[in-house]
């Protein structure tokens, strides 16, 4: 929180206004016995006007209910949108490893492989292509980690359209219909007063 500027202050003022708009909103958690896990990850590219760092976001759904989500500025600057997206994939796969181990310790069986959905065709290609190129050398550790989990059968990586990307809400400022549609898909509902 160093070097705050007017856009940061405007964003900070926007949060209480958003919450005040509808305080009855909450997340609907399904009680379906099916423990299918799906993950969505996304990234912008160099959107921070000060540092040009990218923001990663991911969402993990269990039985179509959100159980884990995050939006965070990446620690390093990405040289391409594919690199920024790959870092987002690496981040969500790390969370999925943790979640799968936690469920195992609780003796809860989940369906494997876990579907990881990404809207970058380049990321899907890099993951499935075992040949490293000079262009991807600097993200080689991330590539090895994700590819290993793919080979172990923990995850499968799928390309989805941007319109189907549920993690878009964590990386882009959405308004209007797109924002409302994503909230509905994320099981965010308005509960009746009690």
Domain annotation for the chain: domains and CATH numbers: 39-173+182-187 (3.30.420.10)
Whether pLDDT at 193 is above 60: no
pLDDT digits over 154-178, tens only?
999 999 998 899 888 888 877 778 8
In degrees, to the nearest 5, what angle opens at C-alpha 33 toward C-alphas 88 and 109? Answer: 60
Distances (CA, A) of 41 to 1, 14, 17, 120, 134: 25, 25, 27, 10, 25
Write the Ramachandran bin of 178: left for phi over 0, alpha for psi from -120 to 50, otherwise beta.
Answer: alpha
Look up the pTM and report it. Answer: 0.82
**Which pLDDT tens digit goes with each residue over 24-69?**
777 778 888 888 999 999 998 888 778 898 889 999 999 888 999 9
State pLDDT tens for residues 73-115: 888 888 888 889 999 999 999 999 999 999 999 998 888 999 9
> Cβ neighbours of residue 97 under 8 Å, at least 6 residues apart?
149, 154
Q: What is the pLDDT of residue 56?
A: 92
* Beta bridge pairs of residue 58: 41, 70
């Amino acid at each position: 929180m160093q070097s705050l500027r007017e856009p940061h202050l405007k964003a900070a003022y926007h949060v209480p206004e958003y919450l005040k708009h509808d305080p009855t909103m909450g997340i609907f958690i399904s009680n379906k016995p099916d423990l299918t896990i799906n993950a969505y990850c996304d990234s912008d590219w160099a959107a921070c006007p000060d540092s040009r760092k990218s923001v990663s976001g991911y969402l993990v759904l269990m039985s179509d209910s959100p159980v884990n989500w995050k939006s965070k500025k990446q620690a390093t600057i990405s040289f391409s949108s594919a690199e920024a997206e790959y870092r987002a994939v690496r981040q969500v796969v790390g969370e999925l490893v943790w979640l799968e181990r936690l469920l195992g310790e609780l003796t809860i069986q989940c369906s494997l492989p876990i579907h990881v959905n990404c809207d970058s065709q380049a990321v899907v290609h890099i993951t499935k292509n075992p040949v490293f190129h000079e262009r991807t050398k600097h993200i080689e550790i991330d590539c090895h980690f994700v590819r290993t989990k793919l080979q172990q059968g923990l995850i499968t990586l799928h390309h989805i359209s941007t319109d189907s990307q549920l993690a878009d809400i964590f990386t882009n400022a959405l308004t209007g219909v797109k924002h409302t549609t994503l909230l509905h898909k994320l099981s965010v509902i308005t509960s009746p007063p009690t």
